[in-house]
Structure 1
């Protein structure tokens, strides 16, 4: 159970935590399927989703890689299919209510971002009208560190000046967000959104403090007297 009197910082993942990636994911899966079909592979959208779900559950670092290895027999074709695919960040949008949620949280806590993201994270958050809520924004592309690397989290501690036990990590992935945060002594809330919602949390000291099914549910945990 969280002792809110000790918590001073809340750190967020972005994709499928604050930002809804569903439209972008649907688009890029469709690109993979069409490229595979052009090369003669009978791959369906449903197959791709089923295999992605499986490898997310297995906590594969980059689930699309083993998916393609399963479905595409030629390594040459594997590379050709990947080269013709582009993830469209412009299809991502904040989940409804996220801006208001961050505003309310920022009145009590300092907020930060620890996210595996491509370059331009600050600018995208500016475009969503969210960047003003964050005192620290850490993006893997800019920093050259990728979760679950503990150095990424330690960078956030240095930038924020907070101790791990004073911070909560909120994310959608058990492997990238919850486990590394708990290993370092942070608190953690798992948000079961997106493909990673099938992951199984560990027990014991690495388990999340709380699990919710939608990002807006964290308000009742972190601002219990106002929600």
Structure 2
């Protein structure tokens, strides 16, 4: 009997970015004030959260966030200069502060008994270094990374590429991610089941259409195996 397939997003799902976010926020707010913004951390976070909540950052990269924040707090045209100045901090922060979330190996170990595992993530190729150094790479049969595939979520093609590599139909797969627009909606549209992890900045998002309603919600990564078991149990009942 073939195993079901569970795909994971990385950023703010399997990979904890909270330390990086704190580092970035401090450096970015300091740089904004250096350009004359005069914004304290509380107001900076209010602007940041509003941009995330209103979905003004496209695929969600930190570089898109920089541009949108600059539009709000600085005169027109400053965005590219600010982005260039903070780029070294972003690269160093990713290298030093990205880490797998608490319980990541426990979750992957539990799920791998019953399921095959894969990744569908909007990340640059350097994320493969974290996978290798962590020792968690061994759990994944498929690793579909946007920086390598040259496709980005929510483009359905990146999901279809991962399904093809897994040799699976969408209905036999579950997508685990934190974003409604780039993880949950496209996976649902293809016929996958979905688990939304809400230990993320993107918990600010609220569903705007039916495709953004996750099959199950997990308050943190450690709750994902239970959500997956519930989905598989329901699928078993539906077939009987």
Runs of 5+ in structure 2 lacking a partner? Answer: 231-240
Relative to total residues, which structure has the larger helix share, 1 or 2? 2
Query: 1:51: which partner in 2?
Result: 47
1: CA distance between counterparts of 2:80 and 2:129? 30
The equivalences for 1:1-227 within 5 A come to 8-60=4-56, 61=58, 62=60, 64=65, 65-75=67-77, 77-85=78-86, 86-87=89-90, 88-89=93-94, 90-202=96-208, 204=210, 206-223=212-229
Report the alpha carbon displacement of residue 92 of structure 1 after superposing the two structures with TM: 1.4
Tell me the number of residue pairs that the alignment of Structure 1 and Structure 2 aligns.
220
Report the alpha carbon displacement of residue 28 of structure 1 after superposing the two structures with TM: 1.3
Runs of 5+ in structure 1 lacking a partner? Answer: none
Q: TM-score, normalised to structure 2's length?
A: 0.86
Query: Which moves more between the two structures, 128-137 or 86-95?
Result: 86-95
2: CA distance between counterparts of 1:46 and 1:80? 24
2:118 match: secondary structure? strand
2:23 match: secondary structure? helix
Report the alpha carbon displacement of residue 206 of structure 1 after superposing the two structures with TM: 4.3
Q: TM-score, normalised to structure 1's length?
A: 0.90
2: CA distance between counterparts of 1:11 and 1:202? 23
Q: Over aligned residues, Cα RMSD in angstroms?
A: 1.9
2:196 match: secondary structure? strand
CA contact 1:99–1:129 (8 Å) conserved in 2: no
